[in-house]
Amino acid sequence: MDEPVTRRVVCPGSFDPITNGHLDIIGRASTLFDEVVVAVGVNAGKSGNLFSIDERIDLVQRVTADYGNVRVEPIDGLLVDFCARHGIRAIMRGLRAVSDYEYELQMSHMNHRLSGVETLFVAANPLYSYLSSSLLKEVASLGGDVAGLVPDLVLSALDERLAERRAKSA
Ligand code: PNS
């Protein structure tokens, strides 16, 4: 008899920091696949990163710990090479709005051309369809209330980091 195949998917991103929108996609991936690998980009958005790669990985690990079939890895280099190393044939990305589509389509075609890996798009939860890590950081840094848009422990990490930055620049 054939060996059972482990169905694995990767959810890649910068996760600076992880939001409830990301978490929604990861949670849905975890119900559809045997294993979900969250790939946190080492260099993704590097100039503007608020959190180091280790901090971003730690936050993703802590907020996904309950899923049971999610693991978190750093990714440095091409996503298709990461997929090959980890035996992954599908990438899952959330689409928030039509504006996401162009860039996502471009990446999915390139990744497919490079290695044949498939990209699966899921419609982002409408509750978070306007949410991005960049907007979250901008609003939080200007004193806006972002509670409910990130898990509580991410909110604490965000508050702490922004307070450190404010103290440094004072
Ligand atoms: O959270 P982001 O910034 O939208 O994530 C972008 C990410 C990390 C998915 C993308 O930059 C990526 O896949 N980086 C890995 C390097 C790579 O393979 N680049 C070519 C993509 S076609």
pLDDT band of residue 114 (cuts 50, 70, 90) is very high
pLDDT band of residue 107 (cuts 50, 70, 90) is very high
**Catalytic choice (7, 46, 165, 166):** 46
Contact 19, 96 (CB under 8 A): no
46 has catalytic annotation: yes
Percentage with pLDDT > 90 across the chain: 91
Contact 31, 67 (CB under 8 A): no
| Mean pLDDT for all residues in the chain | 95
Euclidean distance between CA atoms 68 and 147, whole angstroms: 26
| 19-68 residue pLDDT tens | 999 999 999 999 999 999 999 999 866 567 999 999 999 999 999 999 99
3-state secondary structure the chain: CCCCCCCEEEEEECCCCCCHHHHHHHHHHHHHCCEEEEEEECCCCHHHCCCCHHHHHHHHHHHHHHHCCEEEEEECCCHHHHHHHHCCCEEEEEECCHHHHHHHHHHHHHHHHHHCCEEEEEECCHHHCCCCHHHHHHHHHCCCCCECCECHHHHHHHHHHHHHHHHHHC
40 alpha carbon – ligand 1 mean position (Å)? 9
User: What does the pLDDT read at residue 6?
Assistant: 87
Which residues does ligand 1 sit against, CB inside 6 Å?
Answer: 12-14, 41, 44-45, 75, 78-79, 107, 110-111
User: What does the pLDDT read at residue 141?
Assistant: 96
- HSE-up (13 A, CA, CB side) for residue 50: 25
168 alpha carbon – ligand 1 mean position (Å)? 31
59 alpha carbon – ligand 1 mean position (Å)? 19
pLDDT at 2 over 90: no
pTM: 0.95
Burial of 142 (0-12, 13-18, 19+ CB in 10 A): exposed
pLDDT at 3 over 90: no
Euclidean distance between CA atoms 138 and 154, whole angstroms: 15
pLDDT band of residue 119 (cuts 50, 70, 90) is very high
pLDDT at 163 over 60: yes
